Amino acid sequence: MPVKNQNDVFDTIIIGAGALGLWAARQVICEGRSVCVLEKNQIGAGASGGVMGALMSHIPDGWNIKKEFQFHALDMLEEELLKLTRDSGMETGYRRCGRVMPLVHEGMKDHVESWLLGARTNWRGHYDMKYLEAGNTWFSSTSWPKSDKAPFGASHDTFAARCSPRKLVAALGTFAKLHGEVREGCAVASIVPDKNKVVLNDGTILRANEIIVANGVDAYRLLHPFMGPANEDEPLGRGVKGQAVMIEFPHDDTLPILYQDGTYIVPHEDNLMAIGATSHNVPLGELEDVPAQFDHHDMDFYRRAVKLVPIIKDAPIVEHWAGIRPRNTLKGRGADPWFETVPGHENLIALIGGFKITFGVAHRAMDVARGRIEGPRRERLSWVQ
Ligand SMILES: Cc1cc2nc3c(=O)[nH]c(=O)nc-3n(C[C@H](O)[C@H](O)[C@H](O)COP(=O)(O)OP(=O)(O)OC[C@H]3O[C@@H](n4cnc5c(N)ncnc54)[C@H](O)[C@@H]3O)c2cc1C
């Protein structure tokens, strides 16, 4: 694809080369339109360039539009990733591995009853959820988790999956570069949607008929003039910092994700296993002071994981990683994501994850924003109908 010069008008400019921006680029390209992705650092430099890659399903009871949307998105993801691999020539590390959630107290057994019922109805027989009795060895001989660490049993579903975040963004980035433009090291300072303008930090002006803002936690600042509350000081969202480690632990890659108490253990290919959690709020004003750097004094999530699965205790840590994900806070929205055409600006689309399931739904975000499918949009303040 020939690189356009500055005076050309793109069909679409996308700001941010994370999971949301790159899936949007794939969609625009597949629709036959020209796209330019602007990334201030490099592909996957933000929260999408981490190690976790859990593709978690929502708990299947209390069904609502949000859960319905996420069900379909996660259900079809496998096929979308196969197509991406075909088109980019790159693997994404995907496997529908399922998930085990040890119950933290006796009373949760009642909840599990309701989950099992919900799974039978709402997962349409595609996937299954079971209750695992305490005291048994559940998965191979690896004590996954150690049975006395799950004294109230656990739920096990076959719906959750995992992918490699880095492989995924690399595949999406390769596809975008093959069929569109990706400009790395290119930071956007502001946007003027009414004039179809995107202004870069160095003053360069680029033009596009459509502007998609998908730059993670930094999107709140770019979008505030167009989506912000009347009160200028009230931010649209904040950051949530999380930490993860990758360990090397021999396994045959048949194990499910383990999740308990905010900590995820995600088995990956090549004897790797990611352990992590997101927990620390970072107000927008403090983003500059809280870089996404690993804090070695903050390893509680790792200790919780080792307690649950003691057999990993001597596995070497091969990588430490920290990231900051967006979390929407605008009154009336809770933590729900924003995938929407900004009201009053028909050529401006906001794609902000704001939650922990972005990788499972990012491929459908544009369809929600354009109103093609039901999903999280601002005009519907409550999910439940
Ligand atoms: C520790 C941790 C573990 C997580 N685990 C999971 C998980 O297991 N499963 C899951 O689904 N989600 C998980 N998440 C959340 C997930 O990583 C994020 O929700 C998701 O990556 C957000 O994607 P994004 O494309 O919106 O943003 P990002 O990936 O942050 O991408 C935004 C991009 O925009 C660029 N950018 C910023 N400002 C500008 C600008 N002015 N101009 C140009 N470019 C700009 C950035 O450099 C960045 O590359 C986790 C998050 C953390 C921190």
Closest CA to 97 of 132, 55, 66, 131: 55
Please report the atom of ligand 1 found closest to the CA of residue 274: 8
pLDDT number for residue 382 = 36
pLDDT number for residue 140 = 63
CA 170 to ligand 1 centroid distance, Å: 14
Extended beta strands in the chain, E state: 9-15, 35-39, 54-55, 99-102, 129-132, 154-157, 161-162, 181-184, 188-192, 197-200, 205-213, 237-248, 257-260, 263-267, 272-282, 317-328, 338-341, 348-352
Domains, the chain, with CATH or none: 96-158+237-328 (3.30.9.10)
pLDDT number for residue 375 = 61
Write out the DSSP string of 111-173.
HHHHHHHHHHHHTTTTS-EEEEPTTS--STTS-SS-GGG-TT-EEEES--EE--HHHHHHHHH
Residues 6 or more apart whose CB falls under 8 angstroms from that of 333 comprise 378, 381
- Residue whose Cα lies nearest atom 14 of ligand 1: it is 356
Tokens found for residue 65? 């539009």
Tokens found for residue 285? 């004003």
Largest Cα separation within the chain, whole Å, is 68
pLDDT number for residue 9 = 92
CA 45 to ligand 1 centroid distance, Å: 8
Any atom of ligand 1 within 6 Å of the Cβ of 38? yes
Any atom of ligand 1 within 6 Å of the Cβ of 237? no
pLDDT number for residue 233 = 72
pLDDT number for residue 41 = 96
Please report the atom of ligand 1 found closest to the CA of residue 41: 47
- Residue whose Cα lies nearest atom 27 of ligand 1: it is 216
Any atom of ligand 1 within 6 Å of the Cβ of 47? yes
Closest CA to 75 of 22, 121, 117, 123: 123
Dist CA 338 CA 377 (whole Å) = 6
CA 52 to ligand 1 centroid distance, Å: 12
Dist CA 322 CA 327 (whole Å) = 16
pLDDT number for residue 379 = 43
Please report the atom of ligand 1 found closest to the CA of residue 242: 1
Residues 6 or more apart whose CB falls under 8 angstroms from that of 320 comprise 243, 244, 245, 294, 296
Is the peptide bond between 283 and the residue preceding it cis, with omega within 30 degrees of 0? no
Indicate the pTM of the whole model: 0.94
Any atom of ligand 1 within 6 Å of the Cβ of 246? no
Residues in the chain where the model's pLDDT stays below 70: 1-7, 140-143, 147, 229-232, 289-291, 331-335, 354-355, 374-385
Judge whether 306 and 345 are in contact, CB under 8 Å. Answer: no
CA 85 to ligand 1 centroid distance, Å: 21
Any atom of ligand 1 within 6 Å of the Cβ of 212? no
- Residue whose Cα lies nearest atom 2 of ligand 1: it is 242
pLDDT number for residue 383 = 36
CA 132 to ligand 1 centroid distance, Å: 34
Tokens found for residue 2? 């020939």
Any atom of ligand 1 within 6 Å of the Cβ of 337? no
Please report the atom of ligand 1 found closest to the CA of residue 54: 8
pLDDT number for residue 290 = 62
CA 280 to ligand 1 centroid distance, Å: 15
CA 217 to ligand 1 centroid distance, Å: 7
Core vs surface per residue 61-72: b (16+ CB within 10 A) or e: beeebbbbbbbe
Dist CA 143 CA 148 (whole Å) = 10
325 to 18, 28, 95: CA distances (angstroms) = 11, 24, 24
Any atom of ligand 1 within 6 Å of the Cβ of 353? yes
CA 16 to ligand 1 centroid distance, Å: 9
